[in-house]
Structure 1
Amino acid sequence: MKKLKILGVLIVFLSLNSCVEQIEFELEKLERERLIVSGILTNLNEPQVVFLSETTSKARKPLLADEENRIFTLNDLPRPLQGARVTLVDASQGRPWVYQETEPGKYELSDYLGTGSNSELYLEIRVGDRVYRSRPQKIPEVIGSDELSFSFERTRLKDNPDAAQVLIKTAVTLPDQVGDYYLRWAVDEAYFWDLTFFPNPFNTPPPPCIVFGFPDPERITLINGDLLNKPGGKSTQIVAKRLVDQSFLSRHYFTVRQLSISKNTYEYWRRVRELVNNTGSVFDSPPASIQGNLYNVNNPDEVVLGYFEVARAKVSRIYTTFADVPFFLGKSCEYIPSKRLDQYLPTCLNCNAFPNSQMEYPEWWFDD
């Protein structure tokens, strides 16, 4: 028996580092899949990541969803593209760096140490006999700096007139020049999650559980320096809003990346933001009507979704603690002697119940 489930939406994978933001768009189902590319290369000393996936198509085969009962599912979600050869190329020197596939569809470059300021870099992707490339880009030379702050407030959210949220803001010091720079902000979060501490003979607490995610994935914060006449001046921006929940019972970090990008990259994200604001529904990569910067070398008419960014980046972090929260927060994982084990939430028992978590502190966790 076959069970077909048609969702009728495109979900495109765009990511910073190892997390995935989600934006949905309706897209006509075509005869063959389309490649989706999401990646960014920066000057930071950290793994550089590219995500590859493919859209749905009329020819897509169903997945085996239930092996025991032989139930198949056909959905319209992009599927990770495995087995591609992904290479970063310095066009001026011809030097390549090869990415390694660390998870299905996730390709990482760990040994990139940067190039000269005049180097033009592009991404090359080989999938079978198809070859894709991004337009060559230079890492911009100028960037501003961030001074972060947070504030808690009540706000109306749909039918809730008294929702609690936190605002993450930056007082940006702009580059000391007039125009010819373009800035974008990306924000991710990491928080300590208190697993249930069950009594034991050795009084051993559960391991640390650090959960990662995006607090406000549909917010696209941009600055066009050509529209300002404030060299070295200040600009205040809201870079994220986040509803307050039990994740604020312990230390909750917000990592803010200011990205200095090219004019073409700025225009791409500006068009994405317009689409988001008009529809209220996004997932990191727009339909084909918003042109990215990748193309098929042998078939320029093929539409490739997504974007590969080359940016100068600067990282700032800020965190909140339970003492900062002016609202009541109940403890969802507190041990109760009369409570059966199966009555606890899975996330109270196992850190792996979160889709993106780890049981060790990031190396920067205690830096501040």
Structure 2
Amino acid sequence: MSRLKLYIGVFVTLVLFNSCVDQIDFPLNRGVEKLIVFGQLNNLDEDKFVMLSETTSADREPLFSGQYLVLNDLPRPVTTANVFVVNTQNQRFSLNQVEPGKYMLPRSVQIREDVGYFVEIQIEGKTYRSEPEQMPAAVGTDEVSYEFSRGVFDNDPDRAFISIISDVTLPDSDNPYYLRWDVDEAYYWNLTFFPNPFNRAPPDCYVFGFPDPERLPLFSGESVRAGVNSSSQLLAQRIVDESFLSRHYFNVRQVSISRDAFRYWSRVKDLVNNTGSVFDIPPAPVRGNVQNSANPDEVVLGYFEVARISQERIYTTRADVPFFISEVCTYSPERPITDYPVTCLRCSEFPNSTNDTPHWWFDQ
């Protein structure tokens, strides 16, 4: 047995991107490559995605890094698949590969609430299908707030950090319901403004990430007492750093999922146990709802879900932060350019960044 470090993209909100997070080790036999499937259909007017990758095997060829060959255990994207979303009325929709391993269903495809959906994946003569799921009927709402604190964080006794909290109005439903919260962040990063003859400012820089990838908030309506219609949930915490010098968004999605999806994420949460990241889950014993049609015994990892979502956003500005934050990118004529962090020079140094303003940035 060897140890496999896995990075798995979970259902990302608003934008899909890979996150730089710590990885956790989990024993896994690498002798056979395993397909990893993650995807979601929902009620929102947005493009939908299915992410395909596979675990590495002991005899996998090394990757070319651009300068030299490297060996690693990270899952690698599956780029040779035909991917379809199918409903129980036999309507089939083909997904296009927009990035390696990332297959898109355009927002123009309307997801019906009265039928079930499943994913069908064809790879090198093999066909994989998920179990059909229908969109849940109810979802609650979030009233999101934040609190700045100073105290123990990541074993540091004196760290400034922010907590993202929701006062939740639970779904108005007589039937059982199951909730998960997904939280991502986006912030504006001030690149260094070096004097130039044209007085041209550096381009805008927006950076995306996950504030608390090791946290997986779940809630089962089966445990709610009669008459209880609200709950308080701690959704995320992260340290206060230079990313709070400008507008810093936290995007919260309350995701209403099926009982089977809830059980899957509960098993993931048990394995992570708040010590790693849900984006680095050790999924070997956590089989999802996708299987090989001709060989049900083949282990397929991940989950394809159909969900109902409500979403909220909240942001902070520098004026909201009660702590001093040093400015790492401020220009000084005495400071050599080699003394600036590379993230002060180029937005692209952030793995998940863009120069384009998100369409919702000034909605609030």
Q: Could you state the TM-score of these two structures normalised by the residue count of structure 1?
A: 0.92
Residue 264 of structure 2: which of 263, 268, 287 is its match?
268
1:66 is displaced (CA, Å) by 6.0
Residue ranges of structure 1 left out of the alignment (5+ in a row): 1-6
Change (3 A) 1:112 1:130: farther
Aligned partner of residue 302 in structure 1, secondary structure: coil
Name the structure 1 match of 2:152. 156
Q: State the match for 2:176 in structure 1.
A: 180
Q: What amino acid is aligned across from residue 339 of structure 1 in structure 2?
A: R
Residue 341 of structure 1: which of 328, 337, 340 is its match? Answer: 337
In the TM superposition, residue 285 of structure 1 has moved relative to its aligned partner by 3.9
Contact 1:97 1:112 in 2 (8 A): no
Percent of aligned pairs with the same amino acid: 49
In 1: Cα distance, 2:203 partner to 2:72 partner: 37
Select which of 85, 95, 107 maps to 2:82: 85
For structure 2, the 5+ residue unaligned runs are none
- The structure 1 residue matched to 2:16, chosen from 15, 18, 24, is 18
Residue 328 of structure 1 corresponds to: 324
Select 1:192's aligned residue among 188, 192, 199: 188
Equivalent of residue 234 in structure 1, options 221, 227, 230:
230
1:208-250 CA deviation, whole Å, 9 max, x = no partner? 1100011111111111001102557110001111111000000
Change in CA separation of 1:110 and 1:79 when aligned onto 2, cut-off 3 Å: same
Aligned to 1:3: none
The answer to which of 55-64 and 314-323 deviates more is 55-64
Aligned counterparts, 1:1-368, within 5 A: 8-15=3-10, 16=12, 17-21=15-19, 24-65=24-65, 71-91=68-88, 93-230=89-226, 233-277=229-273, 280=276, 282-368=278-364
Does the CA-based 8 Å contact 1:50-1:106 persist in structure 2? yes
1:87 & 1:340 partners in 2: Cα distance? 53
Conserved? CA contact 2:86–2:92, under 8 Å: yes
Structure-2 change in CA distance of 1:136 and 1:231 (3 Å): farther
State the secondary structure of the residue aligned to 2:319.
Answer: helix
- Distance across 2 between alignment mates of 1:354 and 1:324: 25
- Amino acid of the residue matched to residue 337 of structure 1? P
* Structure 1 residue 282: Cα displacement: 4.7
Q: Separation in 2 of the partners of 1:278 and 1:189? A: 19
Instruction: Answer whether contact 1:56 1:76 (CA < 8 A) is retained.
Output: yes
Task: Indicate if the aligned counterparts of 1:179 and 1:227 stay in contact, CA closer than 8 A.
Answer: no
Q: Which amino acid aligns with 1:221?
A: P
What is the rounded CA distance, in whole Å, between the counterparts of 2:154 and 2:235 in structure 1? 21
1:277-297 Cα deviation digits (max 9, x unpaired) = 175455354332122111001
* Distance in 1 of aligned mates of 2:189 and 2:352: 12
Cα 1:309–1:274, aligned 2, differ >3 Å: closer, same or farther? same
Give CA-to-partner distance per residue, 1:115-158, whole Å, 9 cap, x none.
33221100011111111111100010100000000000112134
Match of 1:4 in 2: none
Letter in 1 for 2:360: W
Scaled by the length of structure 2, what TM-score is found?
A: 0.93
The answer to whether the 8 A contact 1:14-1:285 is kept is no
For 1:279-323, what per-residue CA distance to the aligned partner results, in whole angstroms no more than 9, with x for missing partners? 545535433212211100111000001111110011100000101
Contact 2:214 2:278 in 1 (8 A): yes
Mapped to 1, the partners of 2:58 and 2:267 lie a distance apart of: 28
Structure 1 Cα separation of the partners of residues 274 and 144 of structure 2: 29
SS in 1 for 2:146: strand
Q: Please report how far the alpha carbon of residue 109 of structure 1 lies from its aligned counterpart in structure 2 after TM superposition.
A: 1.3
Would the aligned equivalents of 1:295 and 1:302 in 2 still touch at CA under 8 Å?
A: yes
Cα drift, residue 338 of structure 1: 1.0
**Number of matched pairs:** 359
Instruction: Give the secondary-structure state (helix, strand or coil) at the position aligned to 2:133.
Output: coil
Check whether the contact 1:285–1:306 (CA below 8 A) recurs between aligned residues. no
Amino acid at match of 1:74: L
Runs of 4+ in 1 over 6 A off after TM superposition: none
Contact 1:174–1:231 (8 Å) recurs in 2:
no
Q: State the distance in 1 between where 2:82 and 2:281 align.
A: 22
Q: Which amino acid aligns with 1:267?
A: R
